[in-house]
Chain A
Amino acid sequence: MSKERIKIAEELYDIMPPEYQDLVKRATYGNETRGWKDIGTAKELIEEHSLCAGCPESMAFRYILASLPNPEDTVMVGSTGCTSLVFPHVAVHNIHSLFGNQNAIASGLKRALSVRFPDRTKDVVVLAGDGATVDIGLDMTLQAWFRQEKFTTICFDNELYANTGGQESGLMQKGFVAKMAPVGKSFEKVRLPEIARESGCHYVVQCTVSKPNLVEKIIKNAIYVAREIGPTYLQIYTPCILEIGKNSMEGLQEMRDSEKPTERFAFKEFVSEPAKELLAERAAKEKERKAEAKKQLAGQTA
């Protein structure tokens, strides 16, 4: 799907509900500088969501969808979990895979897209929960990284199986007692960011979604690196407020508390040498673009 194809048939334009007309007129398709600051002024690529009130995952979804550099040519691969409740509402191509199978699906998809559209940039982004990424789908997750598949894997880490009532997951912290894990987790939280680095991921970040500008930056970095170099991995804390006994208003504070330097979601970033070079190159170009824009603006106002 290219931007040119996102066009309503002229003869039927008047019967289209306003949200679709808005999607054509006010969405930020085809704009590489799009970002979280467009939220509120441009049409978002998520219509409404069916998550619980105050769910941090909904914030994460909004920031991520606002930050995709190439949404009209992006395919997202989801898996079973709370994320699968949201995908039907987003205006980006997406595939629901079997539980845990998401990285295998994404591997085939990325390769097929490269063959079918050799001259176009097509981004593939996996977005799944911790159960799909680390427990049920760990085999597929790791194998895709070993093979150096060029796509981004995002894990929404809520540290348990929230969608099914609170069972223990590999990313749950040690000792945590959940509704359906009454004896408490007996082993440490799996260190997937480190495993990702050792498995060949070129850009790995662990963080929360408390800072939208940070989310935008890591999403763009991860996608650019995956496009050019190899697999990237983002582990984002999206606490399930219901399962940890918080209220709707407390999700943001929970993330802020958990990202302090001594806490388990302290910001962590691993960047490979080729990825460092690529990101530095992009940063230099971006700086140039901004300076040029500033110069033009000054010229106009003078």
Chain B
Amino acid sequence: MTTSYKVMPGPEHFLPPSASSMGVRLPDPGQAHIHGTIVPEEEAMEQAARQFLSAKVPTIFPGPLVLWAWNEKAAKKAKAIRHLYETIKECVDSKIQQAMLIPMPDYRPKYPKINPEVEINPNHPNLTIWHNKIDACMFVGVHCHQANLSLKIIRGGTSCYTVAMCAQAGHEDAMLSFRDATAEKIDRLADWVKKLKGSVPPPD
């Protein structure tokens, strides 16, 4: 099935359609998608690294699957995520760019509201994005249904570029999505960021 629908940075509008309902399909192993177009994984790695390096506030949102050390793999991924964050921080121009690492510790709707400076919540992720003026972000370790919900809300109400580092089959609702995430894959992304350092124009 082919589709003319592109998963682009928003704000699309209130309640955007799910990308899958618009014909966007998921990549096969070894592939990724950029704006809904299936590409080789390395191409997506380069694109994601470019997005981080050209963003004013490149941010990683680790979810419960990696924040909690519930098994050895999760602990390894947490280490890789910290490494990716430190790499982005090192490679951007700290005068005009600010890398962030903001957790999504669980999915409970917080009452009366979340503190957008310290966390993101899948029920209103736009609050954290607006508050910190985040223009590129990566979800990792978030359960699929909560990630889909967040990615759609972000696309609907913000202009943030979304990347999904998914441990399963990927996310149509992200602008760029990897699949089968491992600690090694996250480290490879960090290597791409390092490789492209200095070659990507910084934000205006």
Contact = CB atoms under 8 A, between A and B. Distances in A.
- Answer yes or no: are A and B bound together in one complex: yes
Interface in A215-238: none
B103 interface: yes
B70 to A, nearest CB: 5
Contacts of A49: 111
Majority-rule SS of B interface residues: loop
A47 B119 CA distance: 15
Given A50-B111, A88-B108, A89-B108, A9 B103 contact: no
Contacts, number: 61
A48 B109 CA distance: 10
A20 B115 CA distance: 14
Interface residues of A, number: 18
Given A7-B68, A9-B66, A12-B67, 13 more contacts: A9-B69, A9-B74, A11-B75, A12-B62, A15-B101, A16-B105, A17-B103, A17-B115, A17-B118, A47-B110, A47-B111, A89-B108, A89-B109
Contacts of B68: 5-9
B102 A9 contact: no
Interface stretch (B4-12, B21-29, B77-85): B77-85
A148 B67 CA distance: 40
B184 to A, nearest CB: 16
12 contacts: A9-B74, A9-B75, A11-B79, A12-B66, A12-B82, A15-B101, A15-B118, A16-B67, A20-B105, A47-B110, A47-B111, A88-B108
A88 B75 CA distance: 26
Contacts of A15: 62, 101-103, 118
Given A17-B103, A17-B105, A12 B111 contact: no
Q: Name the interface size band of chain B.
A: 20 to 34
Given A9-B67, A10-B69, A89 B111 contact: yes
Contacts of B66: 9, 12
Given A5-B70, A88-B108, A10 B75 contact: yes
Contacts of A16: 67, 103, 105
A12 B103 contact: yes
**Most chain B C-beta atoms within 10 Å of own C-beta, residue among A10, A15, A50:** A15
Contacts of A20: 105-106
Contacts of B111: 47-50, 89
A46 to B, nearest CB: 10
